[in-house]
């Protein structure tokens, strides 16, 4: 285990499929999802004042919404979640994604929502990705088995994302107005021991942090794709991560307990918990999604 880090469990759970941690700098709180239980959680950074909202369908990812609350890639479309009342309002009820559900997504540096889907059986590359830009939906050209990430460079001119079953993290040049503007190339190829690339974020130094499903850890990559550090986690399936806290030097990490046998769970008792790590590296505040031009 990487020395010098205290990994603190701040919510026991367990979530079946914890995902999409999101620090809301407007309210100084953390949101995250349990996809398979269709729940949205909220709590303070120290784990206090925890609450949950039941959702009408599984949500794969969330982002901050300009008029308050959150936008969610939910079911087979997009919805707004009023975090005060718990009311969920469809924005785009369905994108007609047969055999798929919405999955990972994030705001780009200009306030567009970039999100993708996953094939329910995780066997066919038929899941798409989209950009929600000031009320307009623009579909990307690439197809995925499971779209994960994405993350953006500090300047917003480069995107990182993964088609997780291939164990590849990809990168490409990016424009908020035009989306991906170059042919995606391999940023890094994970090994069998590394697991599968899941959620990711970029820090102020331009390094990419990735949670690695079945890999028992997190990896920080330099902008050239080389490994800068690894942090071992007490769970087999860390799923995603985000920076937050007053100085954005706290890393919050979600995890999963789904598809783990009772025997495996006995060896992995913290599966599905929420963790935090205090770092000497700062992240970047997530942008707010622009709902209008």
- Decide if 185 is inside a domain: yes
Asked if the model's pLDDT at residue 1 lies above 50, the reply is: no
- Other C-beta atoms closer than 10 Å to the C-beta of 26 total 10
Pairing status of strand 288-289 against strand 59-65 = parallel
- Decide if 1 is inside a domain: no
The pTM assigned to this predicted structure is 0.96
> What is the mean pLDDT of the segment spanning 156-178?
96
- Confidence bin at 3 (pLDDT 50/70/90): low
The pLDDT of residue 229 is 97
Asked if the model's pLDDT at residue 289 lies above 90, the reply is: yes
| More confident: 3 or 29 | 29
* Token pair recorded at residue 137: 């939906």
Contact 64, 70 (CB under 8 A): yes
Q: How far apart are CA 198 and CA 130, in angstroms?
A: 18
- Decide if 189 is inside a domain: yes
Handedness of CA 111, 288, 34, 90 (dihedral sign): negative
Distance of CA 101 to the CA centre of its chain: 15
The pLDDT of residue 59 is 97
- Decide if 177 is inside a domain: yes
3 state DSSP class of 189: strand
pLDDT digits (tens, 9 = 90+) for 240-250: 999 999 999 99
- Decide if 2 is inside a domain: no
The pLDDT of residue 292 is 62
Q: How far apart are CA 192 and CA 141, in angstroms?
A: 29
- Domain carrying residue 275: 7-289
Contact 72, 62 (CB under 8 A): yes
Q: How far apart are CA 228 and CA 214, in angstroms?
A: 20
Residue closest to 199 by CA, chosen among 231, 167, 161: 161
pLDDT digits (tens, 9 = 90+) for 94-151: 898 899 999 999 999 999 999 999 999 999 999 999 999 988 999 998 999 999 999 9
Q: How far apart are CA 139 and CA 142, in angstroms?
A: 9
- Decide if 69 is inside a domain: yes
> What is the mean pLDDT of the segment spanning 235-259?
97
Pairing status of strand 147-152 against strand 136-139 = unpaired
The pLDDT of residue 293 is 46
- Other C-beta atoms closer than 10 Å to the C-beta of 200 total 26
Report the number of distinct structural domains present in the chain: 1
The pLDDT of residue 2 is 45
Distance of CA 97 to the CA centre of its chain: 20
| More confident: 24 or 261 | 24
CATH number at residue 173: 2.120.10.30
- Decide if 204 is inside a domain: yes
- Decide if 47 is inside a domain: yes
Residue closest to 164 by CA, chosen among 117, 203, 206, 209: 117
pLDDT digits (tens, 9 = 90+) for 41-78: 999 988 899 999 999 999 999 999 999 999 999 999 99
Average pLDDT of the chain, as a whole number:
95
Contact 213, 164 (CB under 8 A): yes
Contact 218, 211 (CB under 8 A): yes
pLDDT digits (tens, 9 = 90+) for 203-234: 999 999 999 999 999 999 999 999 999 999 99
């Amino acid at each position: 285990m990487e020395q010098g880090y205290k990994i603190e469990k701040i919510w026991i759970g367990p979530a079946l499929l914890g995902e999409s941690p999101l620090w809301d700098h407007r309210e100084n709180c953390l949101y995250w999802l349990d996809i398979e239980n269709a729940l949205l959680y909220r709590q303070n950074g120290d784990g206090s004042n925890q609450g949950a909202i039941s959702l009408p369908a599984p949500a794969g990812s969330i982002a901050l919404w300009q008029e308050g609350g959150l936008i969610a890639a939910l079911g087979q479309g997009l919805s707004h979640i009023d975090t005060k009342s718990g009311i969920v309002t469809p924005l785009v009820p369905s994108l007609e994604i047969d055999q798929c559900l919405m999955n990972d997504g994030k705001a780009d540096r200009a306030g567009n929502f970039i999100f993708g889907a996953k094939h329910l059986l995780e066997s066919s590359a038929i899941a798409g990705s989209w950009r929600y830009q000031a009320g307009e939906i623009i579909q990307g050209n690439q197809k995925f088995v499971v779209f994960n990430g994405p993350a953006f460079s500090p300047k917003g001119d480069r995107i990182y994302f993964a088609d997780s079953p291939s164990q590849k993290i990809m990168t490409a040049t990016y424009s908020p107005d035009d989306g991906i503007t170059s042919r995606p190339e391999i940023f890094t190829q994970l090994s069998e021991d590394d697991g599968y690339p899941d959620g990711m974020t970029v820090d102020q130094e331009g390094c990419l942090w990735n949670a690695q499903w079945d890999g028992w850890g997190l990896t920080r990559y330099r902008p050239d794709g080389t490994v800068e550090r690894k942090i071992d986690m007490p769970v087999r399936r860390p799923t995603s991560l985000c920076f937050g806290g007053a100085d954005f030097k706290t890393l919050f990490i979600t995890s999963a307990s789904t598809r783990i046998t009772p025997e495996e769970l006995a060896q992995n008792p913290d599966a599905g918990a929420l963790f935090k790590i205090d770092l000497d590296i700062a992240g970047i505040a997530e942008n707010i999604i622009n709902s209008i031009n």
